[in-house]
Every structure is written in structure tokens, then in C-alpha cells.
């Protein structure tokens, strides 16, 4: 029984960890949108926008979270549920409250208190069991587990209330209305009603978050007094949000769902976006190309329309045709590294050696500006391989291996790179750094397995 109680305690500790293993979706337009709508809120929080990241997670649940540092993760399901950019801003403000409060780092404080209660109950329960009072011992253990869980949940509810209050402050300083924040909490409350989550005061004690109704009332009392409450929505942000939301649905939803939500009769930009992704995913390249060309006709200078058109052509087996639109997309987006990596891929995919020099330049620029793109490192490694530079091909592979969580491969590739590069040159030193990092990760893995 003590083992069962200990397992319950361990499950409590594991449950407080965010789902870090979930996939992050990278999209140039979406990331630019997140940066633009969050910058004034980040400044309102007293942080530097250059140090804060807002990332999209490929999870359909309605959630957002932080995992330490200054990164906010927003699930795709939350974007699908939101109706306005202002609602997303309310979520971002709340999560920044967690960031500034260091809540992800301090979660151990609440867990350690709960752990102390739980271990104490285990010891008392074991003593009672040894004394012959088995039922009493089990009762002590189970009561201790409930007390531990209650203590921990109370701690997280306090953190959530602090984040709500802090988020309201950041929105106010940014001059952004809190209406979206209220609207989104109402959506969460309606969702809880639909799935039968109890809303009475007694049920709050078994929740990690305060009751949605209580949060709404708490925030309304703050927001309605704020001068920014009547501030109208930013029309550009709202237009951009509808584009991002549409392309995300086209990418993630079943094609028939996208066709239902964005029928052919809808000739808006978001509808063309959504259908282009849906047709492309359903293997109707000509229809996808038609939608993309209609987007370009509506605004020939929009780099993201050219990016989409180039991507469709590339992934439909037409890399040479994709070069023109992708070059326009790179130029129009101030050399966005994600789009540049796509152009590099297209240049490599033409299998024309004349394109290798341009591909190397484009991909090197992409990894310098965004060192978190394993796909770009892979393509750069292919370029080096085709040009006969095996040492730098190995170095590019080692960079990619570190990002994809393969320290054993990173160690092997970094050794190969160091053996082929002149000693103490910048590339040799980078290969050495990767080797040291990979060795440390492998040693940590061994310790965890013991």
C-alpha cells in the first residue's frame, strides 16, 4: 500500500510538468503575427520583446502554458476556439503573468509542501500498520494524499489568480482592452458547462484553476474601470488573425471540414488561404495552385502569398517553378529565415548544381538568423555533401542532431567534423562545443537510467 501511495505522489509531481514533448509548429506569418500583437503587452510586463517567444503548439486542446524562461506556448486548439486577436492577447497577457512571476520555476515550492505532507502521512500510516491497525494505517495514508493534493491545488489556484491580475495590468499599460480576455473566459466556462464540469464553490477545492465564473467577475471588476476598456479593436490585427486562423485550420483539419467552414462561395482572403491548404493536403495541386494565385492577384506584394504558392509548387514536384515565388517571398519578408530555408530546399531539390552556391548562401543566412530550425541545417548539410565538403556536412548534421534530441548522433558527427576541419578554426571549435554538449547529455541520460 505504501508503494501505491508513493506512486500517487510521483504522479502528482509528474503532472505538474508541462507537455514539453509536443510539437511546435513553425510558420513565418503566424510567428510575425504573434510578435506584433504581443509586443506592447510584453513591454507592459516590463520585459524586452527580443527575449520573449510566443510559439504555436500542434495540439488541438484549448490551452496555453509556460515551461520556464520567457517562452509562451499557445495550442492550435486555442487559436481555433478564439474569435478575435484580442482574445489571444488576453491569453498571452495571462501567460506573461506566469513568466514574470516565475511560476514555472516556483511550482516546486507547492510540490515540496505537498510532498512533505504526503511523506509524513506515509510514515504515520506505516507505523499504524506495523502496530496492527491496518485499516487505520490505510486511512492515514489516503487522508495524507488528499491533503497533499489539496495543498498543491490551492497553491496553483493562487498562481492563476496572480497571473490573471498581472495580465490585466499588462493589457492596461499597453492600452489594450480586456474585453477579449473576458470573452475567452466565457468560452471556457461554456465549454466546462458542456462537458459537465461542476461550477459550485465546493468543487473549486479540487481544481488547479479558480472557477471560471469567479475569474470572470474578478476580471470584470478590474477591466471595466480601466481606460482601455472602450478601446476599439485594432483592425489590422483582427484581419491578420483571421488569416492565421484560416491557414491553421486548412493545415490541421480534415479537408472536408475546411470546405464546410470555408465554402467556394466565400471569396475572402482567409477562405482562399484555408482552401489552398486543404486542397494541397488532399492532393489536388491544381486547385491549391488556383487558390494561391487568387491570393497573389488580390495583393501581389504580400510575401506570405508567394510563400504559399512556392510551397505548393515545391511539394507538388515542381521545385524549379517554385524558385520565382519563393525568391519574392524571401525578399518581401526581409529575408525571413523560415521562408529562406524553404527557398534553400527548393534550390537543392532542382538537382541543378548551378543552384548550390545560392542554396548555400540562403541556408547559411537562415541558420544564422534562426538557429532553431533542424530542417535548414539538414538542407545545408545536403549542400555541403553535394559540394564535396564532408567535414561541414558532418558539422551541419551535428547541429541538427542536437536540436532533434539525438546526442549519440551529434557526438559521432561532431567527431567526424573535427577530424576533417583545420584545428581551432571557428567551425572546428563549434564542432568541439557540440561534442561537449552531446557528451554531457549522454551522461545525464545514463544517470537518469540508473
Share of the chain above pLDDT 70, in %: 78
| 210 band by pLDDT with thresholds 50, 70 and 90 | low
| 160 band by pLDDT with thresholds 50, 70 and 90 | confident
Strand ranges for 97-136 from DSSP E: none
Model confidence pLDDT, tens digit, residues 108-155? 454 444 344 334 434 444 444 445 444 544 443 454 454 444 444 444
Range name among 87-96, 185-194, 262-271 with the lowest pLDDT average: 185-194
Q: Are 74 and 91 in contact (CB under 8 A)?
A: yes
Mean pLDDT highest for which of 58-62, 102-106, 150-154, 355-359?
355-359
Q: Are 235 and 179 in contact (CB under 8 A)?
A: no
CA distance linking residue 414 with residue 270, whole number of Å: 45
| 193 band by pLDDT with thresholds 50, 70 and 90 | low
Mean pLDDT of 39-44: 97
Q: How many CA atoms lie within 13 A of 13 on its CB side?
A: 14
pLDDT at 71: 92
Alpha carbon of 437 to those of 252, 393, 411, 432: distances in Å? 35, 19, 9, 9
> Smallest Cα–Cα separation from 395: which of 421, 361, 369, 366?
421
CA distance linking residue 226 with residue 178, whole number of Å: 9
Q: Which residues contact 57 (CB under 8 A, 6 or more apart)?
A: 22, 23, 24, 25, 73, 74, 75, 76
Model confidence pLDDT, tens digit, residues 376-421? 999 999 999 999 999 999 999 999 999 999 999 999 999 999 999 9
Amino acid at each position: 500500500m505504501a508503494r501505491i501511495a508513493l506512486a500517487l505522489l510521483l504522479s502528482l509531481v509528474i503532472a505538474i510538468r508541462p507537455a514539453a514533448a509536443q510539437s511546435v509548429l513553425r510558420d513565418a506569418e503566424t510567428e510575425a503575427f504573434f510578435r506584433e500583437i504581443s509586443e506592447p503587452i510584453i513591454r507592459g510586463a516590463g520585459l524586452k520583446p527580443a527575449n520573449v517567444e510566443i510559439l504555436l503548439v500542434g495540439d488541438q486542446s484549448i490551452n496555453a502554458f509556460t515551461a520556464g524562461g520567457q517562452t509562451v506556448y499557445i495550442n492550435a486548439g486555442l487559436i481555433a476556439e478564439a474569435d478575435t486577436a484580442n482574445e489571444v492577447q488576453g491569453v498571452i497577457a495571462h501567460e506573461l503573468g506566469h513568466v514574470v512571476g516565475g511560476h514555472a520555476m516556483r511550482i516546486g515550492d507547492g510540490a515540496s509542501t505537498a510532498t512533505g505532507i504526503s511523506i509524513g502521512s506515509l510514515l504515520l500510516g506505516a507505523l499504524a500498520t506495523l502496530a496492527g491497525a491496518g485499516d487505520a494505517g490505510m486511512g492515514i495514508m489516503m487522508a495524507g494524499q488528499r491533503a497533499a493534493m489539496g495543498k498543491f491545488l490551492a497553491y496553483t489556484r493562487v498562481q492563476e489568480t496572480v497571473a490573471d491580475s498581472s495580465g490585466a495590468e499588462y493589457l492596461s499599460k499597453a492600452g489594450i482592452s480586456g474585453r477579449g480576455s473576458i470573452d475567452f473566459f466565457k468560452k471556457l466556462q461554456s465549454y466546462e458547462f458542456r462537458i459537465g464540469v461542476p461550477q459550485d464553490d465546493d468543487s473549486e477545492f479540487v481544481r488547479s484553476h479558480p472557477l471560471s465564473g469567479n475569474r470572470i467577475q474578478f476580471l470584470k471588476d478590474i477591466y471595466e474601470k480601466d481606460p482601455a476598456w472602450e478601446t476599439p479593436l485594432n483592425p489590422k490585427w483582427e484581419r491578420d488573425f483571421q488569416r492565421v486562423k484560416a491557414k491553421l485550420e486548412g493545415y490541421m483539419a480534415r479537408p472536408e471540414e475546411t470546405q464546410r467552414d470555408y465554402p467556394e462561395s466565400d471569396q475572402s482572403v482567409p477562405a482562399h488561404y484555408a482552401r489552398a491548404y486543404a486542397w494541397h493536403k488532399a492532393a489536388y495541386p491544381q486547385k491549391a495552385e488556383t487558390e494561391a494565385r487568387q491570393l497573389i492577384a488580390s495583393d501581389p506584394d504580400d510575401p506570405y502569398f508567394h510563400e504559399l504558392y512556392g510551397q505548393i509548387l515545391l511539394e507538388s514536384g515542381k521545385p524549379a517553378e517554385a524558385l520565382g515565388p519563393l525568391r519574392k517571398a524571401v525578399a518581401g519578408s526581409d529575408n525571413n529565415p523560415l521562408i529562406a530555408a524553404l527557398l534553400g530546399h527548393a534550390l537543392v531539390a532542382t538537382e541543378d548544381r548551378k543552384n548550390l552556391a545560392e542554396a548555400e548562401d540562403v541556408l547559411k543566412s537562415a541558420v544564422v538568423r534562426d538557429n532553431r530550425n533542424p530542417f535548414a541545417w539538414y538542407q545545408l548539410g545536403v549542400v555541403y555533401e553535394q559540394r564535396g565538403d564532408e567535414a561541414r556536412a558532418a558539422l551541419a548534421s551535428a547541429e541538427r542532431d542536437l536540436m532533434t534530441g539525438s546526442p549519440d548522433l551529434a557526438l559521432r558527427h561532431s567527431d567526424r567534423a573535427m577530424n576533417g576541419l583545420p584545428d581551432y578554426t571557428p567551425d572546428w571549435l563549434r564542432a568541439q562545443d557540440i561534442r561537449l554538449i552531446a557528451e554531457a547529455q549522454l551522461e545525464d541520460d545514463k544517470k537518469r537510467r540508473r
